[in-house]
Amino acid sequence: MPCPCRTRTEKLDVREYRDKFPIGSCIFSGGTARRFEQLGPGKPVTKEQAIEYLDEMVERGLIPTAQNHLAGPFGVMCLCCGGGCSNVRGRTVWDNPTEVLPSAFAPRADDECVLCGTCLDLVMTMARDNNRL
């Protein structure tokens, strides 16, 4: 299904990173996926196609995000960018990091980290900076 966040910002003519990220798709599973297929915007893919697509989008710099809970079935995996995605904007622009994109995971640097800064260009949620490692 086309990404609702990038589709919305495209229609409003405020979408950032047009040249870097396509509208792309979110990946749904289970009943949600079947419903979107019935409604028209969804299409079935194999597990291999989904993994290949995820790898390609991560290579482009998108952040895969999914529900952060243990109960219930997996329903959606978004592929977020910093230019309009509600999940990322909650952390980077709206100054409300835990309300929109809560996480049970905390970044940390281990002994192998040499503070080169390479990850800083990749992490658009500002979860890491050399001053906080």
**What is the pLDDT, as a whole number, of residue 123?**
60
Let me know how many helices (H) and strands (E) the chain has, helices first. Answer: 6, 3
Domain ranges across the chain = 4-103
**What is the pLDDT, as a whole number, of residue 126?**
53
Please answer whether residues 29 and 75 qualify as being in contact, where contact means their C-beta atoms are separated by less than 8 angstroms: yes
**What is the pLDDT, as a whole number, of residue 133?**
45
Averaged over successive runs of 10 residues, the pLDDT of the chain (133 residues) comes to 84 85 83 85 88 90 73 76 72 60 60 75 56 48
**Confidence (pTM):** 0.65
Residue 81 region by backbone torsions, left for phi larger than 0, else alpha for psi between -120 and 50, else beta: beta
Angle, CA 126 vertex, CA 59 and CA 61 arms, to 5°:
10
Strand (E) positions, 56-97? 63-66, 76-80
